[in-house]
Structure 1
Amino acid sequence: MLFLLFSLDCCEGLNNVDYSKVARWEHKTRSLTRMFRSPYVACYCLGAVIMLLNFLRTNCFTEAMRSQPRLNVLDCLVGYYIGVAFVVVGTVFVVSSFLVLGFVGTFLGDYFGILMEAKVTCFPFNVLDNPMYWGSTIIYLGWSIMHASPAGFLLTAVVALCYTIALLYEGPFTEEIYRQKANRRL
């Protein structure tokens, strides 16, 4: 049980909220840009930290599922393939959004002053708002089904909650950054 509680924090905690706070701090002070002498280098470094922590989160998630009991009703070939289908769908959303946004667009580049020309509206953004976050959540749900893991379902709910909280920070702030950009053009 102690490992499950650790995994709740390790799995997601408030990481995305923390990234948003760091990004807002950067937007306000440009401290990382000054420290790294480039908004691109600063953004790449923050992105690398986010990726490394995501690898840790994935490992913690997997270990929590392996160490907990399984649901007999899902512990079958059909359950496994349903989980695989979820993982594939989630991966399509995550990878396609990364390809559309690029590294800088994915890892909070707009907070570093690296703005896209316009709001992205092509696939997957025309199907789902925030496809990176919700695709990741779908992947975690798929893993949970594949492993027939009640702990995985709980952790997936924590991931979804944390992404929802992060979007409360990111969504309006990003809209404001692009509104300011549009006003400067006028």
Structure 2
Amino acid sequence: MAKLLKFLLLASHVDWTKGSLYASLVSITASPLLWNVVARNEYRNKTLTKCMGAHSGCTALGVTIFVAGLYREVLYKKALHDQAQFHLPYGIQTVMAWIIFGIGNFLVFTSFIALGFYGTYLGDHFGILKEQRVTQFPFNVLDDPMYVGSTLCFVGAALWYERLAVGLLLSLYVAFTYYVALKFEKPFTNMIYENRNRSAKSKRW
């Protein structure tokens, strides 16, 4: 009940007539939908692989995801600026924004280093598989550090621009879309590696 009241309090401070708010919501939804649909199609039909090869296809998808992410951030910033500003004590705002944004970017960066380009951008759906599961930092601390880090970046931006109500609501929506995406991604990725392992065992025998 308390969580619902907090949510309603945040929502009451949002101007729901702004088109930029809905554009941001659409872009937040579209990003994980894009990479999941394209990657699953690639695993089943090898569309990009047939056209340009597995590594080039994965690179093309990775660049598309990256550019779509940048555009999503532009729309998010626009949505923030179209809302009322809530002034915070400058020291608190600056310190908290830098800490949260810094932690978020650190998690995203270290996740990328641990996974590599093809691991980050769904190379396993193109048949570019790792020898074993990545377990080093930050994956030994969090199950999904890249998604956590990305969400924290949204929260940090909301603090920096002093648009807490809409920023936190959109950040919660980001977290929700990642949560839903993971419900589809994890089982599918596990299936890919289980099939690889079964195939490797059958070849040994």
Residues in 2 aligned to 1:17 and 1:5: alpha-carbon distance in whole angstroms: 17
Q: Does structure 1 residue 134 correspond to structure 2 residue 148?
A: yes
Could you say which structure has the larger radius of gyration? 2
Residues in 2 aligned to 1:183 and 1:93: alpha-carbon distance in whole angstroms: 33
2:120 to 96, 106, 109: 106
Q: Does structure 1 residue 28 correspond to structure 2 residue 29?
A: no
Superposed displacement of residue 14, structure 1? 3.3
Q: Which residue matches 1:124?
A: 138
Q: Does structure 1 residue 8 correspond to structure 2 residue 25?
A: yes
Give the fraction of aligned pairs with identical amino acids, expressed as a percent.
Answer: 35
Q: Does structure 1 residue 171 correspond to structure 2 residue 186?
A: yes
Q: TM-score, normalised by structure 2?
A: 0.85
Q: Does the CA-based 8 Å contact 1:90-1:139 persist in structure 2?
A: yes
Q: Which residue matches 2:4?
A: none
SS in 2 for 1:17: helix
Q: Does structure 1 residue 96 correspond to structure 2 residue 110?
A: yes
Q: Does structure 1 residue 71 correspond to structure 2 residue 86?
A: yes
Q: Which runs of 5+ in 1 are unaligned?
A: none
Superposed displacement of residue 19, structure 1? 1.0
Q: Does structure 1 residue 182 correspond to structure 2 residue 173?
A: no
Q: Does the CA-based 8 Å contact 2:110-2:138 persist in structure 1?
A: yes
Residues in 1 aligned to 2:81 and 2:89: alpha-carbon distance in whole angstroms: 13
Superposed displacement of residue 110, structure 1? 0.4
Q: Does the CA-based 8 Å contact 1:83-1:142 persist in structure 2?
A: yes
Residues in 2 aligned to 1:92 and 1:18: alpha-carbon distance in whole angstroms: 25
Q: Which runs of 5+ in 2 are unaligned?
A: 1-17
Q: Does structure 1 residue 61 correspond to structure 2 residue 76?
A: yes
Q: Does the CA-based 8 Å contact 1:26-1:112 persist in structure 2?
A: yes
Q: Does the CA-based 8 Å contact 2:31-2:69 persist in structure 1?
A: no
The one of the two structures with greater contact order (alpha-carbon pairs below 8 A, sep at least 6) is: 1
Residues in 1 aligned to 2:20 and 2:103: alpha-carbon distance in whole angstroms: 29
Q: Does structure 1 residue 160 correspond to structure 2 residue 166?
A: no
Q: Does the CA-based 8 Å contact 2:43-2:125 persist in structure 1?
A: yes
Superposed displacement of residue 93, structure 1? 0.6
1:4-32 Cα shifts (integer Å, max 9, x gaps):
1222112x023202311210110001111
Q: Which residue matches 1:18?
A: 34
Moved segments of 4+, more than 2 Å: 74-77
2:162 to 148, 151, 154: 148
Residues in 1 aligned to 2:46 and 2:63: alpha-carbon distance in whole angstroms: 18
Residues in 1 aligned to 2:89 and 2:176: alpha-carbon distance in whole angstroms: 26
Superposed displacement of residue 75, structure 1? 5.3
Distance 1:67 1:174, change over 3 A: same
